Structure 1
């Protein structure tokens, strides 16, 4: 499947019309999330690297024109004006891992109007999906309060690309490992895993399974103890770990039942065997809400493995994101639809302490004691600098999460943070609004 043709059909029809009308001057689009979903006090920006890779390699060849023509039931020659289009524009964006607020642009793209339109669907898809996942993962990190969190989501995400995004988002948000080998390899990130209940069942009894696993994997070991009865399985695991002298760094995993109670009992059993260094890993339908309850209850769980609910961001699977034209050929434009008003013009986000963000025009002087959040990443179709490392993104996210106001950090009923707009941006918005309204009131405009 071609990434160039991964676009909505109306992007193609609009781009073709723009070319036929000679409308090829620079257009600037903002990508933003208008309002945060319920249960979110903040977002974590993600997906930019995939966008940069896509834009810097974007080129429409004959095979893409044929696909567009087939979709439109038209001769390929009709779409020849699209042939050879490349991305020659500029992108400024919030770096991945940065905490962002509703209503502020995550990305600003400026390019000839037909190309800026054609890339909309891909850009919006990548930023929206990965930002939703990174925001969910960051909340898991906060809920765990310093305990390791690992990604177990591969088997139930909406496709393998989505699973890679989930593993990457977790890595950015502070997870310690993923079960997804391909993602771990691509990211240079630790892979982790234990065994399935089917492994225990295949041997018929737990001790034989644990000893066989130890022969194949000399340690440290993580043994799954809840296939039959967790307490019984923990006793068996403790005997095996002590007999083989592989307790240091090893763990047991509990995947079902009342995890707080089961973990408490398991901790007593392990300690009675002198295995205080053996950790307890919990899994089984966990997300930030469940992790938060377990941590607050004092459950002796050392590692949290989160899967389906985090990998699909089950409580907020979609963001109210938009990619809106804010300037064409130097003319600021805006949308006035009810509940979907957009501010015109190129912008910058100025962050002050306490996440007091001000969205201003790009050419305004900086807000005192602030720092800009949007940075150039592509100029004239060429990537600027080297790609950021995963470590850079993790450190950026961790720093923001540490200083996030308590009301936004809360797992239950967080209070979303809000940005403000500068007086100059508000004045421009009012001026453009008035210009549009005056145009509608002219004779011959249906009034």
Structure 2
């Protein structure tokens, strides 16, 4: 599916941003930076612009914010033609977060975050409350950070402040240009997760630019994959983009490993995880023996041990878990590594098993109570299942 034949919205969705045959040409350049781009961005969604350098994704973002003006075409924000909105009013409706935060170095964290609220004429008490609220939201203690300057912060902390500043005026729309691109991989993942948590609460309309397909898949409700000449090659959900690339150019940009990437889209909380019997830690020897016998008969190597609140605490090895010269003895307890919760993905589960040399992971609910066990065989089945290969964008529901 290409831009022209992909359904851009599902029934009932409201369009927040509409790009109508948007074109940008620069004098002296042989081709357009953006050409005839038509796109609907639904309210409350994250739409990721992804593609190689020079493909027009950042130019498109700047056009939305009127940092540059289009050569032709129209941009509508919540039904209004942005060319008819005074620029200063438009930008107060749009939050902007860029790589490395883009903070004013001579201003404190509080003053940086307060930039737009001051422009909007908020009183001091309201601004102070908003600054503290946002610092807490992005995981920074207001008492410790509001008086610091950007030079006293780490890269990740600066980026958190940049996100807080973009949210400060409660904008309808947020534009995020490679916001986590300069952050080391560990902090980058933490910032991505934190931002998704915030978005689940706020439901902002977000245009997010990246060159990283993995980040696009993780962050986006929809992905617009740009090609050369400022054209969108495919505009789709992450599921459909991975399962059904529009053409060879899209498939080449996605690269190898699409099946594994799809695992990062399946949240464990949405899955019907198998729930084999468990044994309580307080159970007597007879009950433990019976549980081990049942597990051995079904080919299981371990039985999960839970406490009185049904929280997993350990694995109990069956006779099948022992290898010649190694492994625990039958009936011996084996320490439990971190269980997988609702927010983890199948990719997290697979990574957990491979890194810990385990054949299964315990799955818990939001309160940490036992839901089931996800084994390597189940993940392998899911990688090859029809559910992960469907092109209708539906979420995976069963194991």
Q: Is the structural similarity TM-score above 0.5? A: no
Kindly indicate which of the two structures has a greater share of residues assigned to helix.
Answer: 1
Kindly indicate which of the two structures has a greater share of residues assigned to strand.
Answer: 2
Q: TM-score, normalised by structure 2?
A: 0.28
Q: Whose relative contact order is higher, 1 or 2, with alpha carbons under 8 Å and at least 6 apart?
A: 1
